[in-house]
Structures are given as structure tokens and as C-alpha cells.
Amino acid sequence: MAWRFISGGSLWADWMHSRYIKQDNFWTCSTDNNHSITFKTILRHRRVLKSAIRRVLKDGSSTDLWQDPWLDRRSLLDIRGAPTHQEDRRGLTCSRIIRNGEWRSDSYRFTEELGETIMSTVIDPALPADRWIWEPTDASSKTGEFQFRSCYNLIRRTFPLSPDYEFIWCKGLTRKMQLCVYKLLLGRLLTKDRPSSFGVPVPDPKCVLCCLEPESIKHIFFECAMAWQIWSEQGRVLGVCASEKGIGDIITVIRDSRGRGQDWFRTARVRLAASVWHVWRERNRRIFEGLVTPPVGILHNIEFDVNAIEN
Ligand SMILES: [Zn+2]
């Protein structure tokens, strides 16, 4: 919206300008209580916006000499500070220092460095008017057109990539499988031991797969006799040892064996996700639908999904 606002050319932008900016300058005006939430938010993002845009001039007549950030993403005010003499900077435009499509280097008394920055600003008399172009440093294309992708990268918070991402973002996995593995990795699947940890009693805290031990993530997926059957079969097919105690161990075993090739690594990740998903699905079907599939049926379902994903 901030980009649409400064680019102008829409009814909305014109309306916002005439309502909130009037004779003021967008880059230097301060928020007041009459501003809408939208406009306040736009103002709050001026610094980000400034880092992503560049001004290209036709003749400078619509670029504020002191306040617009036309000098390599900075304004003359940013670089020089407020003018010391009481010259009225209001209303001065860049056209003051441009003549016939060229910078009038004789018309200003600036330092050499500032002079160079001014000269590096592009003047293109063929343009219909002075305009902003979208040019963040990480933009993949330099057309000057707005890009959601680079804008998103500019405003989002980034975190280091989790080393386990490959086990969630594996091509072909269904969203439900991905979400299930993701929750398992975070320890956030809603097993029966969780309500008791908040002090909420659960009538039957036993695992529905074996009906012997209390249900927990660790039990369902790694300690339960049924889980053991699933993992030992997957271990047999993949040719790895299946004595793991948790998802982290399984991931480590698979990662350590990735030297067996890309195809093997992919199959291993698909088998891991499909196994986790089918064990969890079986647990939910037993609790919520009263349906029971024996381990051999679950293994069959896993094979079916693995084949469907692989092919
Ligand atoms: Zn069990």
C-alpha cells in the first residue's frame, strides 16, 4: 500500500494524498490523531520503503529538493541537515538544479561527494514524469516494477534455517504428513499426557495402539510395540538399523546415510513421513471413530502412499 501510495496514479492514492498530505511532504510529515490506522502504518514503514526505492527524474519538477529521498535513497535533508540560513525550503523542487535534461553543476555549492551523488541520479527526459522505481538490493529482477517477493523479504523477520527442514519440505508429501512430522519434531502432537500436564484429568490415559502404557508422543511413535513393528519394517526396506529412540535419532540415521544417493535419501524421508502420519492416523481413528486396522494393514497403507508419492 505504501508503494501504491507513493507511486500515485490511482484514485485511492490521490484521495489519501488530498486527505492526509495536502501541502505537507510524505517523507517528513509526522503522524497525528486524524490519521487512519492504514495511513499511520504506511508512515511507520517509510524507512523500509526508502531502502527499496530509487527516484528517476524527468525534469525534477515533481521531486522535492530537500525532503524527497532522491539522492541514493536519502534526502538532502538527511545528508545536509536543515539548512543553516533561513531559506524557505518548502516547495523547492529538483527542477531548480536541472536544465535541458542535465544537472546544472554551476548552480549549487555542495561538497564534492554530494555533487557526485547528485550527478549519479538518473535524469531521463523521455519519462512522462519523475517517478519511483522499485529497487531493493535483493531484487531478483531489476525492472523497477514492484515485487511482492522482495518486499516480503524486506519486512519479514528471518530466522536461521532449521536443519530438519528437508524432512518436512520433501516433494510429494501431503500437507497432512508435513504438518504431522512438523508437530512431532516440535513435540506438539496432542497426546493424552498433555491435558494431564495442564492439570486436566483424562479418563483413559492408556495408548490405544497397545492398551498397556500411558500415551505420550515418545510412547506412540517409538516405544509402543506397534510403532516398533512399523519402524523395523521401514528399517529393513531402507537397510538401516531400527533401534532408534526418537524422531531426532531417526533423522540422524537417515542423514548420516544420505551418501547412498539422492533417490535413497528421498525414499527414506517419504517413508519416515508416511509412517509417522499413518501411526498418528491409526491412533485417531481408534479414538474418534472406533475403527481398528492391524499393523499389517497400516504397513500396507504406508506402502501404498510411498508408492503413490514416488511415482
Ligand atoms: Zn502403545
* pLDDT of res. 84: 67
C-alpha dist (Å) from residue 226 to 29, 222, 231, 245 = 67, 9, 9, 14
Question: Rounded mean pLDDT of 16-32?
Answer: 92
Question: pLDDT tens digit string along 132-142?
Answer: 999 987 767 77
Residue 242 CA to ligand 1 center (angstroms) comes to 17
Residue 123 DSSP SS3: strand
Full DSSP string of 91-120: T-BGGGGEETTEE-GGG----HHHHHHHHH
The pLDDT of residue 85: 63
**The pLDDT of residue 219:** 93
pLDDT at 114: 85
Residues 6+ apart with CB under 8 A from 170: 266, 269, 270, 273
Question: How far, in Å, from the CA of 189 to the mean position of ligand 1?
Answer: 15
pLDDT in tens, 43-97: 999 999 999 999 999 999 999 998 999 998 999 888 888 776 656 667 789 998 8
Question: What's the 303 CA to ligand 1 centre distance in angstroms?
Answer: 22
**Beta strand spans in the chain (E):** 53-56, 98-99, 102-103, 131-134
- Best CA proximity match to 298, nearest among 282, 283, 285, 309: 282
Percentage of the chain exceeding pLDDT 70: 95
- What does the domain layout of the chain look like in residue ranges? 2-155, 165-310
Write out the DSSP string of 133-164. EE--TT-S--SS---HHHHHHHHS---PPPTT
**Quick count: other Cβ atoms within 10 Å of Cβ 148?**
7
Asked whether the predicted pLDDT for residue 176 surpasses 90, the reply is yes
Task: Kindly give the distance from the C-alpha atom of residue 198 to the centroid of ligand 1, in angstroms, as a whole number.
Answer: 22
Q: What is the pLDDT of residues 155-173, one digit of tens each?
A: 888 888 888 899 999 889 9
The string of pLDDT tens digits covering residues 93-132 is 999 888 888 888 776 677 788 888 888 888 999 999 999 9
Please write the tens of the pLDDT for every residue from 245-254.
Answer: 788 888 988 9
CB atoms within 5 A of ion ligand 1 belong to 207, 209-210, 224
pLDDT at residue 158, as a whole number: 84
Average pLDDT taken over every residue of the chain: 90
User: What confidence category does residue 216 fall into, taking pLDDT thresholds of 50, 70 and 90?
Assistant: very high
User: From the CA of 228, how far away is ligand 1's center (Å)?
Assistant: 10
Nearest to 168 by CA among 270, 24, 303, 66: 270
DSSP state of 57: B
Tell me, in angstroms, the distance from the centre of ligand 1 to residue 206's CA.
8
- Torsion, Cα 174 176 182 188, to 10 degrees, reads -170
As to burial, measured by CB atoms within 10 angstroms (0-12 exposed, 13-18 middle, 19+ buried), residue 150 is middle
pLDDT of residue 260: 93
Residue 59 neighbours by CB under 8 Å, 6+ apart: 95, 98, 101, 123, 125, 130
Residue 220 has pLDDT above 90, yes or no: yes
